[in-house]
Structure 1
Amino acid sequence: MPRTKEFDPEAALQAALELFWQRGYEATSMADLVEHTGIGRASIYATFGNKHDLYLKALERYEELRDPQLLTELSQPGPALPAVRAVVRRFAAEAGSEAERLRGCFVTNTAAELSPHDAVFARRVERSWEHVETLMHSALTRAQAQDELPADRDPRALARMLLVLMQGLRVTGKGSSEPGRVRDAAEQALTVLD
């Protein structure tokens, strides 16, 4: 008769996510994961697989938690351009806040640490960024249809520019203790929407 799990897999996954987010993949050992999740090594392997598999599940969990917020923000009825501006400003505020800046964005952290040499993570990061770009493109296309955005602007190119800006804000915010740097960059970039 199989033994029943004596731990909450969802809570363990969240604990692993927090640890990976704080330290990164390479700096997190299996011993660290055992200590932080409070479950044994064998239980981690049996439930989540190896460290690579667990990190991938943590990345998926991060996206599940973050993506609905972005979709909600960018798909509200009414004017679309204020929502786009609000999202960029939120990214800048988070990147410049003391509480958020040291952790950064889990997807961006994964892109910097793992994507260059791990095709699985490179595909996951690309998929995440394509999702953000699609949401931005949709909102900008709606803004143009509602005469909020000049007709000579390319919504796809603007969405890509804003995606790159938002990821850059995360990287810069993580490395800088000057919140004005990311805030000023975001505000300057948003002038292209005028």
Structure 2
Amino acid sequence: MARPKQFDPEAAVVHAMEVFWRKGYAATTPQDLVDALGIGKGSLYNAFGSKHDLFLLALRRYRDGQSLALVEMLEEGGPVKERLRGALKLLAAMDLGDPDRRGCMAVNSATELAGTDQAAAELVRRMFDRTESAFQAMVEEGQRAGEIDPGRDAAALGSMLLDILVGSRVLARIAEGPERLARVIDATIDSL
């Protein structure tokens, strides 16, 4: 008879996500994961296959949580430009308020693994595509409402907003305060 699992796999993925997010993929050792999950190495590999498989599960978990949070911020009522400004500033404040200054796990993974890990790169690419599409939809809504010039290319503006988001999340890792990020976000939204 097989022994029942002594841990919750969903909770284990969340704990693994925290380790990978803080340390990065390469710097995270199997022992780091074993310590964070409170299981033995054999159980780790039996439950998740490999460090890489667990990393991809953790990255998906991060994606699902971040995507939901961003969509909720963007779907709040009010003028489109102010919702965009508010979402970008809230993410910046979250990054700046993180004592470990982890930044965005997707951005971190892209910079660490894009040239060496196709599965992780594809997962991050799809996440960025989804975010860019959400930004484009917001621009189109703003165009219909008369807030944003309808002659502007909504896809290009969505791409610009994604770029600002990614850059802001990198900058927040080293920023001494919110001023520079606020200037970038305000200038971007005002340029719409």
- TM-score (normalizing by structure 2): 0.93
Deviation at 1:101, TM superposition (A): 6.5
- Tell me the amino acid that sits aligned with residue 185 of structure 2: A
Deviation at 1:12, TM superposition (A): 1.2
- Tell me the amino acid that sits aligned with residue 149 of structure 1: I
Shifted more, 126-135 versus 11-20: the winner is 11-20
Query: Where in structure 2 are the equivalents of 1:76-87 lying within 5 Å?
Result: 76=76, 79-87=79-87
Deviation at 1:128, TM superposition (A): 0.3
The 8 Å contact of residues 173 and 182 in structure 1, kept in 2 or not, is answered as: yes
Distance in 1, matches of 2:38 and 2:100, equals: 27
| Cα deviation 1:8-44 (Å, max 9, x = unaligned) | 1112111111111111111110011111111111111
| Cα deviation 1:132-167 (Å, max 9, x = unaligned) | 001111111011011111122221111100100110
Count of residues in Structure 1 that have an aligned counterpart in Structure 2? 192
Answer yes or no: is 1:21 the counterpart of 2:34: no
Deviation at 1:79, TM superposition (A): 3.5
The 8 Å contact of residues 101 and 173 in structure 1, kept in 2 or not, is answered as: no
* Aligned counterpart, 1:149: 148
The 8 Å contact of residues 75 and 139 in structure 1, kept in 2 or not, is answered as: no
Answer yes or no: is 1:165 the counterpart of 2:179: no
The 8 Å contact of residues 110 and 124 in structure 2, kept in 1 or not, is answered as: yes
* Aligned counterpart, 2:31: 31
- Tell me the amino acid that sits aligned with residue 108 of structure 1: V
* Aligned counterpart, 2:50: 50
The 8 Å contact of residues 137 and 159 in structure 1, kept in 2 or not, is answered as: yes
* Aligned counterpart, 1:108: 107
The 8 Å contact of residues 143 and 149 in structure 1, kept in 2 or not, is answered as: yes
Query: Where in structure 2 are the equivalents of 1:183-194 lying within 5 Å?
Result: 183-193=182-192
* Aligned counterpart, 1:135: 134
Deviation at 1:92, TM superposition (A): 2.6
* Aligned counterpart, 2:4: 4
> In structure 2, do the counterparts of structure 1 residues 45 and 57 end up closer, same or farther at CA, with 3 Å as the change threshold?
same
Deviation at 1:176, TM superposition (A): 2.9
SS of 1:116's equivalent? Answer: coil
Deviation at 1:179, TM superposition (A): 2.8
SS of 2:173's equivalent? Answer: helix
The 8 Å contact of residues 89 and 183 in structure 1, kept in 2 or not, is answered as: yes
Deviation at 1:77, TM superposition (A): 5.2
Q: Which runs of 4+ in 1 moved over 4 A?
A: none
Deviation at 1:81, TM superposition (A): 2.7
Shifted more, 184-193 versus 125-134: the winner is 184-193
The 8 Å contact of residues 70 and 87 in structure 2, kept in 1 or not, is answered as: yes
The 8 Å contact of residues 30 and 51 in structure 2, kept in 1 or not, is answered as: yes
Deviation at 1:78, TM superposition (A): 5.3
Gaps of 5+ in 2: none
Identity rate, percent:
36
